[in-house]
Structure 1
Amino acid sequence: MDSTDEIWHRDATPARPSRPLARRGRALGVALALGALLASGATMTLAAPAVAAAGDVNCPSTDCVRIAPAAGSPVAIAPDNAGAVYLAYSGGDLLKLDLASGVLTTVTTGLGNLRGVAVAGGSAYITNFDGMLQQVDLATGSRRTLAAGLPSLFGVARVGSTTYVTDGKGEIVAVPDGGTPRVVATGLGFSYGIAFDKAGAAYTADMMTGRILQTNVTTGATRVLASQAYEPTSISVGGDGLVYFLVAGEVKRVNAVTGVQSHVTNINGINSFSFSLAESGDAYTTGNGGGEGLWRIAGLTSR
């Protein structure tokens, strides 16, 4: 087991530092405790931030609405931009939330110790901690294995006919349809997610060093877009082309061309570990500690 695997398996009881370090301490608790949470399926409860500032997103509010009940905490969320959001659970379940009706249904179960989900072309692409990448037909629930025997897998994204995943060794692995998995980039640290822009560049968030990275998956060349004082736990590319990430409940964004980084908002009232952006600019996230369930943050990219 490598050092990253150890971090994501061990239990930790984080200290509760006073502000202004409280928000950072909360992220550390999430980062260290998530491994045990995902492995066990237990619910993690941490304290919500105590003080809201102007411009913050407060949950619940008109800007942040719980749209699905507290059916446990999904480890990954993927909107399909066609009226549904898919939720992956560490216990191996894949659920579908119909946004119009609010009905939550099970697509399939028994997918293993899940970590990531991406939706494209009527299929969900699922990663699990045991090094397996699976494709699930969203209409029938049938599945097939695209790759197995890889290091522990986390983030997943679908580009054309290739599925890209991040693993516990700091790599991006490309899995082409009908082809052999191959490592296309190394030295990326630990990123729980991966996102692509319209030009085909990949973005990862290294929780170990705080780096936001842009990678050319053709050449493997990587550059640092931003460096954080604490671990980023989420990565998304908005319809505006900007790269969004989460640091201890604070949403930030960076322009991949200019390198200019800016504060977007703080998410208060729920302990959010990650979020997924829809094409509309809305974000979907989950909460713990009294904020369980799936939440929609309206117009995150327009803030």
Structure 2
Amino acid sequence: MTSAASWRTRTAARTAVHTAAVLLTALTVAGLAGTAASAAAVPVVTCPSSSCTSLVTGLGEPVDAAYDTGDNAYLTYQNGELRTVNLVTGARSTVATGLGNLRGIALDGTGSAYVGDFDGNLREVDLATGQQRLLASGLGALHAIAHSGTTIYATGGSGKLYEVKESGTVRVVASGLGLSQGIAVDGRGGAYTADMFTGRILRTDLTTGATRTVATQFYEPTSISVATDGQVYFAVGNEVTRLNPDTGVGTQIASVRGLNFFAFKLDRNGNAYTTQVTGTGSLWKIANLVPRR
């Protein structure tokens, strides 16, 4: 199984080749034919620029990141460290160590982080004290974590979507989902994942486990987010696609240049954040990637 870090360190040249192929590929969405916008019509975001800025450097090689409402980023590392950095002042510290070969992370908004590792362990970490609690184990490589209410959702290399209660109770919601490095809960009882091996964008009903393919034919899709407009956003290489999950229409909305293997997370204002492991390791902000409506 290829690790999350290896996907993030693909060369820019290879990304460019596959990006060109994606632009020429029709979007096949839930049995409907949605047509991709032409390359000339896709807005280009250049990094660095006034709309794409480097916030922090010297971060090393973070695997995943989560962001709170207080301008803090929480970064996971393969050496088992969970670190935090303030996006305004650049102040940074280590929250906890010894967390395993870390992958995905999610915050609950009340002082805890939930982190998954490559060996299938899901832990809760108190962000104030660094104390950790093992919630579940044996789940397979956990590349993607989401938190909603009192429930954690996790997926990754096993192809399964897990529901883990804060009490530690584990339920397999669905299987056969492939390798996803992103997960997004839509607030309507569903979770979106992206199978990097087959190019499927999937929606799973979190109650019944029923899964449907929302879109196909995307090369290694990443960065699943559901924005406040109810649309699903993800990346293929450096191209960002907006997908209407109800109509099945996908539209490329941006081509991000200057960042290697673009993978992002959205905040409530439509800004995108991404970490880069090239150089000394940096964290970037793309303002208004999702236009406000």
TM range (shorter): 0.7 to 0.9
In the alignment, the residues of structure 1 paired with residue 72 and residue 18 of structure 2 have an alpha-carbon distance, to the nearest angstrom, of 35
CA distance 1:55–1:222, shift in 2 (3 Å): same
The runs of at least 4 aligned residues of structure 1 exceeding 3 Å deviation read 7-20, 22-26, 51-54, 288-292
Q: Specify which structure has the higher proportion of strand.
A: 2
Matched, 1:123 2:112: yes
Map residues 55-66 of structure 1 onto 2, 5 A cutoff.
55-66=43-54
How many matched pairs?
Answer: 274
- Where relative contact order (Cα < 8 A, 6+ residues apart) is larger, the structure is 2
Matched, 1:108 2:96: yes
Q: TM-score, normalised by structure 2?
A: 0.85
Alpha-carbon shift at residue 239 of structure 1 (Å): 1.8
2:138 maps to 149
In the alignment, the residues of structure 2 paired with residue 265 and residue 57 of structure 1 have an alpha-carbon distance, to the nearest angstrom, of 7
Alpha-carbon shift at residue 14 of structure 1 (Å): 7.6
Map residues 196-211 of structure 1 onto 2, 5 A cutoff.
196-211=185-200
Alpha-carbon shift at residue 25 of structure 1 (Å): 8.7
User: Secondary structure at 2:290's aligned position in 1?
Assistant: helix
In the alignment, the residues of structure 2 paired with residue 143 and residue 92 of structure 1 have an alpha-carbon distance, to the nearest angstrom, of 12
1:67 maps to 55
In the alignment, the residues of structure 2 paired with residue 218 and residue 87 of structure 1 have an alpha-carbon distance, to the nearest angstrom, of 30
Choose the corresponding residue for 2:19, options 19, 23, 45. 23
Is the contact made by 2:273 and 2:286 (CA closer than 8 Å) also made in structure 1?
Answer: yes
Where does the alignment leave 5 or more consecutive residues of structure 2 unmatched?
A: 23-38
Deviation per CA, 1:253-300, whole angstroms, max 9, x where unpaired? Answer: 101111111111111111134211111211110224448300011111
Alpha-carbon shift at residue 15 of structure 1 (Å): 9.2
Amino acid across the alignment from 1:89: Y
2:228 maps to 239
CA distance 1:177–1:214, shift in 2 (3 Å): same
Alpha-carbon shift at residue 179 of structure 1 (Å): 4.0
Alpha-carbon shift at residue 98 of structure 1 (Å): 1.6
Amino acid across the alignment from 2:243: V
1:297 maps to 286
Alpha-carbon shift at residue 233 of structure 1 (Å): 2.1
Q: TM-score, normalised by structure 1?
A: 0.82
In the alignment, the residues of structure 2 paired with residue 211 and residue 155 of structure 1 have an alpha-carbon distance, to the nearest angstrom, of 16
Deviation per CA, 1:50-96, whole angstroms, max 9, x where unpaired? Answer: x9997211111111111111321211111112321211112111111
